[in-house]
Amino acid sequence: MNNFSIALACMFCDAELQGDTTIQYNDGDLITCHNCGMDNDYTSLIEIAKEKALEICSNEIKNELNTIFKKFK
pLDDT at position 73 is 67
Q: 11-18 contacts: CB < 8 A, separation 24 or more?
A: 11/38, 11/40, 11/41, 11/44, 11/45, 11/48, 12/36, 12/38, 12/40, 13/38, 17/45
Domain count, the chain: 1
State which residues form the domain around 49. 1-73
Per-residue pLDDT of the chain (73 residues; tens, 9 = 90+): 578 889 999 999 999 998 888 999 999 999 999 999 999 999 999 999 999 999 999 999 999 999 888 877 6
Task: Write out pLDDT tens, residues 46-63.
Answer: 999 999 999 999 999 999
φ, ψ (nearest 5 deg) of residue 36: -110, -10
CA distance 19 to 8: 9
pLDDT at position 1 is 58
pLDDT at position 38 is 97
φ, ψ (nearest 5 deg) of residue 41: -75, 125
